[in-house]
Structure 1
Amino acid sequence: MIGNIFSKFFQFLIAMLKSIGSFLKDAFQSLFDMLFDLFRWLGELLARLFQALIDVLVSFFMVIYELIKGLLYLLYMIGVCAAKLFLILWEVAKLIWAFVVGLTTTFQSIFFTPGSGSGHGYGAVMGRVASGLNVLQMDVVAYILLFGIWIFGAFGVIKIIGSLRGVGE
């Protein structure tokens, strides 16, 4: 009988411990499930908040990047325009210099006095042509016509060069 009482007592004790253990297991499982859900919710919340912050920062820095890119492109195009302007001014200066050299050569030839031959054989012939023109007084007319031909040729060249657009690009 004592064995039966102890057997029933231990069965009751074991059943009680099993129910307490089951209760504790269910309680801790519910607690940890709730904590896991809480941490998962906090993680998703932080991810959404940080994603919004990251999106704002990325869009802000993209604007700054595009602004810097635009400014650098502006500087590049200013450099290209400056180089083109320099090339245009250089060509205009060469054209003006050629005009001045041609004009001074033309004016210098007005005062040409034939001298001794320079070894090529044309100096004496030019001297005789100039003296023949002096007799007829055609040398001044010839120089004026030479100057006119040169000026009209220069203006024709300038007109042709001015009409060329987009050449060399």
Structure 2
Amino acid sequence: MQIENGNTKYFLKTYEIEDKEHNSKILTASTDDISQLREQASLLDLFQNNVFAGDYGDGKWDKTDSVYFTLRIYFTTKSTTARLDRIVGKVKKQVQPGVSVKTKIVFFRTLNPAAGVNQQKNKYPALGFDYKTGFKKYAPKHSSSFIGGTWQTTLKRGSSWTCSFPLYLYK
């Protein structure tokens, strides 16, 4: 049996039992499934605004395949909006000897000017970082919103070059 509540679907195992009093058969769900459904329903009440947390990450080599960077963003979604909560980055591998890496800047944002949301911060970290944004406002989840961040680094071996690593949930 399938029960739906908005976009959420619940599947229950059902059993056919005889109803001798009415000379028929009825379907019933196991008591385990019913109690699980109650727990899920109470969680739905708790998150009645459809508030969910998530994360998204990626890795990237610089253009010379000298250094591998990882970047992960943590966000909260609420109905049709989202907010950046945390950004984490680090140099995972440095395979080319003699290449130095210096972070220029990490900038992160929950931004949609049309919706009146403009939360941005810049940081100048070491090669590994973990920042909570402190952002309070949510931006609409669509292509005109910037929810995420960009890590720019300078790499040097003789000459210098810039590596830019953007990671956005919506952009």
More helix by share: 1
User: Relative contact order (alpha carbons < 8 A, sep ≥ 6): 1 or 2 greater?
Assistant: 2
Larger Rg: 1
Question: TM-score with structure 2 length normalisation?
Answer: 0.19
The structure with the largest strand share of the pair is 2
Q: TM-score, normalised by structure 1?
A: 0.19
